Amino acid sequence: MLALLILASPSIPVVTEAQTYTYVRQWGGVGTGKGQFAFPVGVAVDSQGDVYVCDTGNHRIQRFNGDGTYVTQWGSDGSGNGQFGVVDEIAVDGVNIYAVELDNYRVAKFLNDGTYLTHWGSRGTGNGQFEGPEGVAVDRAGTSMSPILIIIAFRGSIVVVHT
């Protein structure tokens, strides 16, 4: 059974010794339906406790509330606006979702309800281009009016942008 497993820890310290975790809940299974997954990889949690999962094999992102109840999904296979080739990493900055698309060499930005906003990037090694983007993080405590987005590319580059 393929499932999303939630564990809890009293805090999130740097792990220097064995920690004790408490089982909280799990949900999902293998498939293409709502709440099912085909190779889930990236996961992010927003400030309200909603969970966003990169459902890579189904070319979509699924959103759940904190108890695992399905909320919505978006995406389909392709390279158009709101479509994904291989969506494998995700970050949240309040109401915006940033999804890294490995096969489309870009980062797509959505509202938390799945509304497509924009994307940037293309294949290459120049400014604003990616050779296999692999990771994404948002600096929520940035000093600018907009958050800072950091993307790690497979071929050794790190791209920093203001969104």
DSSP bridge partners of 104: none
Closest among 132, 161, 126, 130 to 147, alpha carbons compared? 161
pLDDT of residue 149: 55
The tens digit of pLDDT for each residue in 48-95 reads: 999 999 999 999 999 999 999 999 999 999 999 999 999 989 999 878
Which of 50, 130, 119 has the alpha carbon at shortest distance from 82?
A: 119
Q: How large is the average pLDDT for residues 133-144?
A: 66
Within 10 angstroms of residue 42's Cβ, the number of other Cβ atoms is 19
d(CA 124, CA 129): 5
Burial class (CB in 10 A: 0-12, 13-18, 19+), 158: exposed
Q: Which tens digits make up the pLDDT trace of 122-134?
A: 888 887 777 777 7
> With contact defined as beta carbons under 8 Å apart, do 50 and 66 qualify?
yes
pLDDT higher than 50, residue 142: no
What tens digit of pLDDT does each residue of 92-108 get?
987 889 999 988 988 89
Give the per-residue pLDDT at 117.
Answer: 96
Enter the tokens of residue 142: 């940035």
Burial class (CB in 10 A: 0-12, 13-18, 19+), 20: exposed
DSSP-derived 3-state class of residue 144: coil
Q: What does the domain layout of the chain look like in residue ranges?
A: 39-162
Q: Hey, what CATH topology would domain 39-162 get? A: Neuraminidase (2.120.10)
